């Protein structure tokens, strides 16, 4: 499957540190069960073998639900797990190198915190841009960059043609503003994985996205 903005407007990014003891697999299972159709597996600390085992479990879940699995940072793990694609950030593998590993049939997402980075990512063949952090992220990354704000989303939208997934401090309360700024969808971490009930958080975000269309 390919990334389609209309079908994959919500990306749930897993983070076991914020999940109240729930594993990556449990996060994915609950999120997909509640209607999320795009999951990004992110774990900066696990070694490749451990992450591959998790990715394969989640791939089974997403395949059965008709959802997509993107692996953060590790193109080799994404390819070995049969994931739908890989997402690379500023300090990860270069987009071209990641593409060479996962192949042209896979989805390539690239992080961008500025117009210049977004243009470079588009030229490198990104299928979508992860733009942010839009707002202040709530504890997801200790080394997170400063918020770029909605103005950067607007500027990136004006300068590029590929779909934009906005990320960073996004929840059901600010989804409309993000979409109105030009994002095609949102990627969320703490708003889902740290929620009391993942299912309720996903449902609330999907409803907010639908209302904002």
Catalytic positions are: 42, 111, 141
Return d(Cα 184, Cα 162) in angstroms, integer: 9
Assign 149 to helix, strand or coil.
Answer: helix
CB 29 within 8 A of CB 61: yes
Query: How many Å is the Cα radius of gyration of the chain?
Result: 15
On the CB side of 149, CA atoms within 13 Å amount to 2
Q: Residue 13 to residues 41, 100, 139: CA-CA distances in angstroms? A: 6, 24, 14
Contacts of 58 (CB under 8 A, 6+ apart): 24, 25, 28, 39, 41, 69
Please give the structure tokens belonging to residue 200. Answer: 């309720």
Q: Is 45 exposed, middle or buried (0-12, 13-18, 19+ CB in 10 A)?
A: exposed
């Amino acid at each position: 499957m390919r990334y389609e903005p209309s079908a994959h407007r919500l990306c749930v990014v897993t983070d076991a540190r914020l999940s109240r003891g729930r594993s990556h697999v449990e996060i994915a299972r609950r999120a997909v069960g509640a209607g999320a159709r795009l999951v990004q597996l992110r774990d900066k600390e696990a070694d490749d073998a451990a992450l591959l085992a998790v990715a394969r479990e989640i791939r089974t879940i997403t395949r059965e639900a008709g959802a997509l699995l993107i692996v953060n940072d590790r193109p080799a793990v994404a390819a070995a797990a049969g994931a739908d694609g890989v997402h690379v950030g500023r300090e990860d593998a270069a987009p071209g190198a990641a593409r060479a590993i996962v192949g042209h049939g896979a989805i390539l997402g690239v992080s961008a915190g500025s117009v210049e980075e977004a243009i470079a990512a588009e030229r490198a063949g990104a299928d979508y841009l992860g733009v942010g952090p839009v707002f202040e992220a709530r504890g997801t990354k200790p080394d997170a960059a400063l918020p770029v704000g909605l103005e950067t989303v607007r500027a990136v939208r004006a300068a590029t043609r590929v779909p934009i997934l906005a990320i960073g401090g996004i929840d059901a309360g600010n989804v409309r503003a993000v979409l109105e700024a030009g994002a095609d969808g949102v990627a969320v971490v703490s708003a889902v994985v740290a929620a009391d009930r993942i299912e309720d958080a996903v449902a609330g975000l999907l409803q907010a996205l639908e209302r904002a269309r």
